[in-house]
């Protein structure tokens, strides 16, 4: 499973304060510990900073990539911020995210193509998040087909089924799981990705639900997740579900992680 480390996000107060004073050491520590724990991408988000977002997002990319060789996942709906970040990014970044919404789509597509970035596509409809699996699949299909017409390759597209809290809608997890399965079956070679923690909003012992959902989603084909790889329970679930899904030959990755004390 491809792991996108979620910790460098400006909605976290400590991160926001570090960003505010451009505390390189703090940011680099978060980047390093996530890569050591197994992150394949480092998510960077400076969304709390409004007008300064573009500048700070680019600063985050430079700061992170000064200490790790890992690509970043550029977390912003703002094409201007994405542009500045892509300009300084080394290697192939992932852009998080694109939607069918016209203005955003038209601005982001040329950028993503120019920098050969990978892209996360959200299954949003005209009026928010479609409620049924069928409707949501149609909105996924629409954006995937559009991206393919633009010349994108399936392995560079990551579809986000959009996770809603089961506290509000008991079917929220099932809908996302079915969507993951359908997208993975209909578009061979494409990826699916989600941030898992939204699933448990409003309920006690959230980690338990997050991890259970992750394992269920892995069984449906989810191959990328935005999560905290430094959380032992989460990482253990990732590696265990990989082994169970037949994606870890002879369980060697699982064994190795155990031996290094990364899972317990």
Partner 1 sequence: MVLSTSLLSERGGSSDGVGMEIIKRISDELSDGEADKIELLTLEALRQGLSPEIILKEGLIAGMNIIGERFKQGELFVPEVLLAARAMQAGMNILKPRLIQTGVKPAGRIIIGTVKGDLHDIGKNLVAMMLEGGGFEIIDLGIDTAPERFVKEVRDKKPQILAMSALLTTTLPMMKATIEALKAEGLRDKVKILVGGAPLSQRYADEIGSDGYAPDAVSAVAKARELLNLTGT
**Residues forming the site for partner 1 (CB under 8 A):** 10-11, 47-48, 50, 53, 76-78, 124, 127-129, 164-165, 167-168, 201-204
- Residues in contact with 128: Cβ distance below 8 Å, sequence separation at least 6, in sequence order: none
Query: CB 63: neighbour CB atoms within 10 A?
Result: 22
Residue 116 CB, nearest approach to partner 1 (Å): 25
Residue 80 CB, nearest approach to partner 1 (Å): 11
Q: Which is nearer to partner 1, 168 or 249 (CB)?
A: 168
On the 0-12 / 13-18 / 19+ scale of CB atoms within 10 A, 165 is: middle
Is residue 186 within a helix (H) or strand (E), and if so which, with residue range? helix 172-186
How far is the CA of 83 from the CAs of 58, 77, 132, 230, 256, in angstroms? 9, 11, 34, 29, 39
Q: Which is nearer to partner 1, 66 or 167 (CB)?
A: 167
How far is the CA of 61 from the CAs of 104, 112, 152, 247, in angstroms? 22, 16, 24, 31
Q: Which is nearer to partner 1, 32 or 206 (CB)?
A: 206
Q: Which is nearer to partner 1, 188 or 205 (CB)?
A: 205
Alpha carbon distance 143, 102 (integer Å) = 11
Residue 58 CB, nearest approach to partner 1 (Å): 17
Residue 60 CB, nearest approach to partner 1 (Å): 14
Q: Which is nearer to partner 1, 165 or 251 (CB)?
A: 165
Q: Which is nearer to partner 1, 65 or 76 (CB)?
A: 76
Is residue 217 within a helix (H) or strand (E), and if so which, with residue range? helix 206-220
Residue 17 CB, nearest approach to partner 1 (Å): 12
Alpha carbon distance 84, 103 (integer Å) = 18
Residue 167 CB, nearest approach to partner 1 (Å): 4
Q: Which is nearer to partner 1, 52 or 236 (CB)?
A: 52
Residue 206 CB, nearest approach to partner 1 (Å): 11
Cis bond upstream, residue 218 (ω within 30): no
CB 176 within 8 A of CB 194: yes
Collapsed DSSP state (helix, strand, coil) of residue 125: strand
């Amino acid at each position: 499973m491809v792991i996108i480390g979620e910790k460098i996000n400006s909605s976290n107060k400590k991160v926001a304060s570090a960003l505010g004073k451009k505390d390189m050491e703090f940011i680099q520590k978060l980047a390093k510990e996530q890569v050591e724990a197994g992150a394949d991408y480092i998510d960077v988000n400076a969304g709390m900073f409004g007008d300064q977002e573009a500048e700070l997002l680019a600063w985050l990319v430079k700061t992170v990539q000064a200490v790790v060789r890992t690509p970043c996942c550029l977390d912003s709906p703002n094409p201007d911020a994405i542009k500045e970040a892509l300009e300084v990014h080394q290697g192939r970044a992932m852009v998080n995210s694109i939607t069918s919404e016209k203005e955003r789509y038209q601005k982001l597509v040329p950028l993503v193509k120019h920098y050969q970035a990978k892209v996360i596509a959200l299954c949003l409809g005209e009026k928010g998040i479609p409620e049924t699996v069928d409707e949501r699949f149609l909105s996924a299909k629409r954006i995937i087909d559009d991206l393919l017409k633009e010349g994108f390759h399936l392995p560079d597209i990551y579809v986000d089924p959009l996770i809603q809290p089961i506290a509000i809608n008991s079917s929220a997890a099932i809908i996302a799981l079915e969507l993951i399965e359908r997208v993975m079956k209909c578009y061979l070679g494409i990826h699916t990705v989600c941030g898992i923690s939204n699933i448990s909003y409003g309920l006690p012992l959230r980690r338990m639900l997050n991890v259970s959902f992750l394992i269920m989603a892995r069984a449906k084909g989810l191959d990328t997740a935005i999560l905290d790889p430094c959380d032992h329970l989460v990482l253990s679930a990732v590696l265990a579900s990989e082994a169970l899904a037949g994606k870890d030959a002879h369980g060697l990755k699982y064994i190795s992680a155990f031996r290094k004390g990364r899972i317990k």
